[in-house]
Homo-oligomer: A and B are copies of this chain.
Amino acid sequence: MVTIKDVAREAGVSPKTVSRVVNDDPAVNGKTREAVAEIIRRMHYVPDHAARMMRMSHSSVVGLMTDAVATTPYSVDIVRGTQAGLREQSRTMLIANTDGDPGQEQEYWRVFRAHKVAGVVYATMYHRPVDLGAPDFERGIVLANCYSARRSHSSVVPDDEGGGYTQARHLIELGHRRIGIVSLSPVLRATVLRGAGYRTAFAEGGLLYDPALEIPGFITRPDGGEDLVAYDAALGLLRRADRPTAIICGNDQIAVQIYAAAAALGLSVPDDLSVIGFDDMAVITRTLKPMLTSVALPYFEIGRIAVDILGRVNGEIDGPVVPQVLVPCPLVVRQSCRQLV
């Protein structure tokens, strides 16, 4: 390994001067700076992170602690967003996947402490409350896609209520008056919040919210697993005499089954039935025929913003430390919803 001393010797200056050049200290003569910089390039000198970190007693690495985010298709974009945010700060990311196991989580908190990470983004796969169990960790922690019931940390979460409102509003604007809903498991926070959004939009549009038209598309089994029953839910809705002209889905997977149910009944999307998804998972929305209109979960943005907030919490970036950021869920219009005359 080539060290600062090697460079210093080669350049005929002291190590401290090389250090100054590396760190853009203005108190270096232009000529010296040039010469040293050239030698650094030539020798491929890269300052040792460990030594630097030791001297400066904090690292340029941020920890990303997740239950399963980094490893499931649903919310990987949080990772991408986090990484993008960190890149702007020339930082890197140490990633820890706990698989939801508290033992592993405990272990990784130790790792993060050992690495003196500059902060931690704590992300979850589902939008839900978390309890961090007071890890004795001195640097900032920001929650992404989750929030602290005790309000102990700042959080960045999707605006599920707004997302639900957007879904319903879009259909209402297209002229739909009978709207069915095939929702996520009722135990999820997202379901509750979006339900509130639906009602607001319905009320605004002068529609009545009819509980008979809302059916869960997922049911949670006693063992914690989930069964996707959207197909049957959709059949139930579509066989009614007063068949809805549009269906709001709790996520894009539900939409897949609704397409199938509609096809089975000889109904065409969007001519006979409009469908709007949630999540905007490219793999599904762009694969279905016709392509699925959906409301996006802004995971990339969530990650990015979490990093920003983390900077504020640590006082490295100017700006207020807000307790919670609601990130809007934008509408992505494709071909699955039709304007009623």
Contacts and interface: CB of A to CB of B under 8 A. Distances in A.
Contact of A80 (B57, B71, B92): B71
A187 interface: no
A93 interface: yes
A79 B51 CA distance: 29
Interface string A230-256: 010000000000000000000001001
Contacts of A27: none
A70 interface: yes
A339 to B, nearest CB: 23
Interface string A40-63: 000010111111011001010100
Given A114-B46, A263-B263, A287-B228, A72 B76 contact: yes
A73 interface: yes
B288 A44 contact: no
Interface string A116-153: 10000000000000000000100000000000000000
Contact of A73 (B93, B260, B283): B283
A111 B283 CA distance: 33
Contact of A97 (B57, B59, B83): B83
A263 B289 CA distance: 11
Contacts of A47: 114
A105 to B, nearest CB: 13
A290 to B, nearest CB: 10
A95 B288 CA distance: 33
A341 interface: no
A287 B256 contact: yes
A260 B257 contact: no
Range of interface residues on A (Cβ < 8 Å): 35 or more
A113 interface: yes
A264 interface: yes
Nearest to A136: B44
Nearest to A113: B46
A138 to B, nearest CB: 8
A50 B93 CA distance: 16
A283 B284 contact: yes
Interface in A82-112: 83, 87, 92-97, 104, 110-111
Given A71-B79, A72-B76, A79-B97, 8 more contacts: A48-B54, A87-B104, A92-B94, A92-B95, A94-B95, A256-B284, A256-B288, A259-B260
